[in-house]
Amino acid sequence: MITRLNHVAIAVPDLAEAAACYEALGAKVSEPQNLPEHGVTVVFITLDNTKIELLHPLGDGSPITGFLDKNPSGGIHHLCFEVEDIADALARLGECGIRVLGDGKPKTGAHGKPVLFAHPKDFQGALIEFEQE
C-alpha cells in the first residue's frame, strides 16, 4: 500500500525565516502556498530523495496554532507517505482499526491530490498523512 515517503512536515513560527535557511543551504524552495481548507500556508523544500513541507498557521483556528503553542520553536508535525489508491488505503486503514481524522473522507492536499490523515494514537504517536500518487 505505501510506496514511498513523500515529505516530512515541519511546523514553523516564521515561514520566511525557515525557508531562507534551506535556501541558504542550496535547496530548491517553493513560493508560499495558502491552503485555507487546511488552515495552513506551506512552502516545499525539494530534495533529490524527498521533500520537506514547512507549515505555518493561516487564519484563526489553524490546527498548526495549537501545535506551535505547545512547541514555540516549531517541530516535526507529520510524515506523508504515498499510496497508489487513496480509496484502497482508506479501506485498509479501516480494516486495521486505524481512525482517519476529520470526516473520514479524502481531501485535496497541497499537491492537488487526495490525502487522508490517520490519528496519531493509532501510529505510535506520529501524525501520518497518506497521499495518492
Enzyme catalytic residues: 129
C-alpha–C-alpha distance, residues 54 and 3, integer Å: 22
C-alpha–C-alpha distance, residues 121 and 20, integer Å: 33
Q: Dihedral of the CA atoms 84, 88, 93, 96 (nearest 10)?
A: -120
Q: Which of 78, 67, 73, 107 is nearest to 5 (CA)?
A: 78
Are residues 45 and 52 in contact, defined by beta-carbon separation less than 8 angstroms? yes
Neighbours of 71 (CB within 10 A): 13
